[in-house]
Amino acid sequence: MIDRRPLLDIITHLVLIIGVIAVCFPLWMTLVASTHAPEALSSGRIPLWFGDRAWENFSDLLAKGLPEAGGTPVGLMMINSLIMALGITIGKLAVSIIAAFAIVFFKFPFRPLFFWMIFITLMLPVEVRILPTFDVVTKLGMLNSYVGLCIPLVASATATFLFRQFYLTIPAELVEAARMDQAGPLRFLKDIVLPLSRTNIAALFIILFIYGWNQYLWPLLVTTDPTYTTVVMGIQRMVNAGESLPVWNYIMGTATLALLPPVLVVIFMQKIFVKGLVDSEK
């Protein structure tokens, strides 16, 4: 604090409190709506406090799903989301760690070409090449499978750059020492580079997990079989469930389940998450 201005301090806190309420209010209403019976939501008086149907709503959702929307249990959707999120995260990390290792610690023909090929993936998000990518996945027989959900998304320019950036800070003496001790490149990767990149891997893990869990368009395209539905994508079927009116208590329950895992990760690993986010955007 540079100068004392009590009035300004009060205004500051007032703005912050209003801001925080505005940011958190939608979550509050989501949680509240998920604990009521459908009649309570449509009776005209919008409830602002929790109802008594939390247990029924959530156990119905997790075990049975919503009949109007195909009846896939949300519990199964959550498992699918988890498999997809972990598959994408671990895949991206593994692929990027070794690719960056090759680019930084080896000299070989066409190195810049590979570097640029990886770079260019930044410029080609799924959204802009939907149809042809779908064709490729169809031809490879990867529709309706976990492989199809994960593999096409594991290339990562951001992660590769981040690891490259980090490897470049590893002192040359370490490489030299490793070579003098007759350690081969793979030994060097395993015993020196990987332990040194622990915090980077952890930070990136969080960012990529959120990215993977929140995928929408991709699962929408490659899964037509409801047993592969993920929760973030599946909610849309409940909202647009044909003629029947949306069952908002169930939809908000599903929204709660869909947002809880990544939100909890952010809240409990805030420090490392912030580091990961700031690093990966450099």
Residues 7-36 that bind another protein (CB under 8 A): 8-9, 12-13, 15-16, 19-20, 23-24, 26-27, 29-30, 33
| Binding to another protein in span 50-79, by CB under 8 A | none
Angle at 97 between CA 91 and CA 103, to 5 degrees: 130
User: Cβ of residue 28: shortest distance to another protein, in angstroms?
Assistant: 10
Q: Site for another protein (CB under 8 A): which residue of 60, 75, 83, 114?
A: 114
Return contacts of 91-96, CB within 8 angstroms, 24+ apart. 91/150, 91/151, 91/153, 91/154, 92/153, 92/154, 92/155, 92/156, 92/159, 92/208, 93/159, 93/201, 93/204, 93/205, 93/208, 95/154, 95/155, 95/156, 96/156, 96/159, 96/160, 96/162, 96/163
1 binds another protein (CB under 8 A): yes
**Residue appearing with tokens 């599903």:** 254
Q: 76 vs 189, which CB is nearer to another protein?
A: 189
User: Cβ of residue 80: shortest distance to another protein, in angstroms?
Assistant: 14
Q: Site for another protein (CB under 8 A): which residue of 56, 71, 121, 199?
A: 121
146 binds another protein (CB under 8 A): no
Binding mask 170-209 for another protein (x = CB under 8 A): --x--xx--x----xxx-x---------------------
d(CA 203, CA 270): 10
Sign of CA dihedral 35, 36, 41, 45: negative
User: Cβ of residue 207: shortest distance to another protein, in angstroms?
Assistant: 10
274 binds another protein (CB under 8 A): yes
236 binds another protein (CB under 8 A): yes
Q: Are 103 and 119 in contact (CB under 8 A)?
A: no
* DSSP codes of every residue in 122-163: GG--GGGSHHHHHHHHHHTT-TTSHHHHHGGG---HHHHHHH
Q: Site for another protein (CB under 8 A): which residue of 241, 259, 272, 279?
A: 259
225 binds another protein (CB under 8 A): no
User: Cβ of residue 162: shortest distance to another protein, in angstroms?
Assistant: 13
| Binding to another protein in span 151-170, by CB under 8 A | 151-152, 154-156, 160, 168
